[in-house]
Amino acid sequence: MTRGLHEWGAWGTWQGLVYLTFSALALGSACDRGESSYRAARALLDRHCLGCHSERPSVKAFPIAPGGVRFDTPADMKKYAERIRVRTAVDRNMPLLNKTGMTDDERETLARWVLAGAPLAP
C-alpha cells in the first residue's frame, strides 16, 4: 500500500518534469520564430493588402485605394504602421473578408514588425 502510493508520487513528478520540459521547448521555439523584419512586412503587405491599398489597386471593386490609404512605399508603411497592426492583429478585419487567406502567423509577424518600431531596413 505504502509502496503503491510512493510509486504514483514518482510517476506524477516524472509527468510534471516532462510537461515542464515540453512547455519550455514550445515557448523557446515560439520566440525563435519571431520574424519582424522590414522585408517580411513588405512581402505580407504586397501579398495581402496592395490589391486595394495601392496607387493602382488590382481589385476591380476598388479603382482607388479605400480612404486613400496606400502601402506602396516604405514611408506609407511607417505612416500607417499602427493602423496596420490594429486592423490585422487586433480587430483582425483586414484584409477585407480575408479573401487572400492571411494566417494567424502572418498577422503576428506584421504585429511584431510594428511593435519593433516598424523598421524600414533590412
Contacting residues toward ligand HEC, per CB under 6 A: 48-49, 51-53, 59, 62, 66-67, 69, 80, 83-84, 87-88, 94-96, 99, 102
CA 45-96-30 angle, 5° bins: 55
**Widest pairwise Cα distance in the chain:** 79
Q: In angstroms, give the least distance from the CB of 84 to ligand HEC.
A: 4
User: By CB neighbour count within 10 A (0-12 exposed, 13-18 middle, 19+ buried), where does 54 fall?
Assistant: buried
End-to-end CA distance of the chain: 65
Cβ proximity to ligand HEC: between 32 and 104 the closer is 104
Residue nearest to ligand HEC (CB): 49
Q: In angstroms, give the least distance from the CB of 21 to ligand HEC.
A: 37
Q: In angstroms, give the least distance from the CB of 107 to ligand HEC.
A: 8
Q: In angstroms, give the least distance from the CB of 87 to ligand HEC.
A: 4
Residue showing cell 516524472: 14
